Structure 1
């Protein structure tokens, strides 16, 4: 029995070494063979092509997440749902209104309802569970991302729960999922260090500026969507009158395997709010 146990342990050890070797070889190839960073080709219906370079050296988890979702087809057919002139264009939400989140089914390209997944903290998840990734920027304690949000920078969008309570900064910082934005000017240095930049436009900035100048209407008072309150005078004028649709997004990793991102459980704002009043929250 002892010999069998030793053999099992040896087999497990060999498998672990092989897996680590495969992943490590991808990074070895990139560092030693001067392989280019991942390049993104984004086709936008009626507008043209935007090419971007991704920067895993600044935000590796954001890059892993974007590559995986893009090459799984998640962004195909998704809109730029929020456009603010002299600021940025934002897309990547499968719901098309700023309220959507990616699920493990999107990340693993599987709709198997019986599949069992886990968040990086070990908590159980299913194929339909939403996930977020950690905010890779200075304000969140991540010092390696020094990329400023200048014109053409690609960055992860996230929620801002601090508008409800200043105690929710950490929850805000770690709320990115699938949504991204592309900066259209250099005039927002106040965002540097507060959002995870992870790439840059290398071709097609004229396409981005054309989208920036589309006619927009008021968003809903709560989200960037067509709601009953879209005529509210205080609503942001940021929802394109005519849909700006992404036909396809593909990423060429030049043979490097970047793997899946670390995942975290999304913050449940309603549960938190109920708890402030000593109430139980049920979905």
Structure 2
């Protein structure tokens, strides 16, 4: 995958978040996120579940936590990579092979998720923008992805 992008720029209302992609851990998930981002899929999508001290979840075009893209679900690409502050991982249902477009970014260590969710990236700049997202399940006025593209 020589043409796999290395980073993703997620522009939030407060500024940019730079995410280093990890195709070494989850090549199919990285490809999915990058493809959807470059297609404009995530533009305008909210963070519908933001739990202080845990994580911010987004990537559902319906904003409800039940939606996804029109692409097929992905098979799990679990790894030993720890879920720590800044890690980007895929959300899924109880079915381990149900990740589609929803993802979450850890605010803090959440190592109890290790080996059960697919890690596909890590925030390398702009984590303060994630920290500033409105909290709630769902937040009263959810934070929104203005634009997300590979870089």
**Normalization by structure 1: what TM-score?**
0.51
- Aligned equivalent of 1:182: 105
Aligned residues: 151
Give 1:245-264 correspondences, 5 Å limit: 245-252=144-151
CA RMSD, aligned part only? 1.5
Higher relative contact order (CA 8 A, sep 6+): 2
Q: Does residue 1:241 correspond to 2:146, yes or no?
A: no
- Out of 57, 65, 68, the residue aligned to residue 101 of structure 1 is 68
- Out of 102, 118, 122, the residue aligned to residue 196 of structure 1 is 118
Distance 1:90 1:148 in 2: 18
Change (3 A) 1:189 1:76: same
Distance 2:17 2:50 in 1: 16
Decide whether the 8 Å contact of 2:49 with 2:135 is kept in 1: no
Query: How far did 1:243 drift?
Result: 2.3
- Out of 48, 52, 55, the residue aligned to residue 81 of structure 1 is 48
Distance 1:74 1:242 in 2: 21
- Out of 148, 157, 161, the residue aligned to residue 91 of structure 2 is 157
- Out of 56, 61, 66, the residue aligned to residue 23 of structure 2 is 56
Query: How far did 1:215 drift?
Result: 4.5
Distance 1:156 1:148 in 2: 13
Query: How far did 1:132 drift?
Result: 0.2
Instruction: Give the 3-state SS of the residue equivalent to 2:132 in structure 1.
Output: helix
Larger radius of gyration: 1
Decide whether the 8 Å contact of 2:88 with 2:103 is kept in 1: yes
Distance 2:92 2:108 in 1: 19
Higher helix share: 1
Structure 1, unaligned runs of 5 or more: 1-25, 31-36, 105-130, 138-144, 161-171, 217-237, 253-283
Change (3 A) 1:148 1:102: same
- Aligned equivalent of 2:75: 134
Distance 2:70 2:81 in 1: 28
Distance 2:56 2:105 in 1: 5
- Aligned equivalent of 1:205: 127
Instruction: Give the 3-state SS of the residue equivalent to 1:240 in structure 2.
Output: coil
Decide whether the 8 Å contact of 2:51 with 2:135 is kept in 1: no
Higher strand share: 2
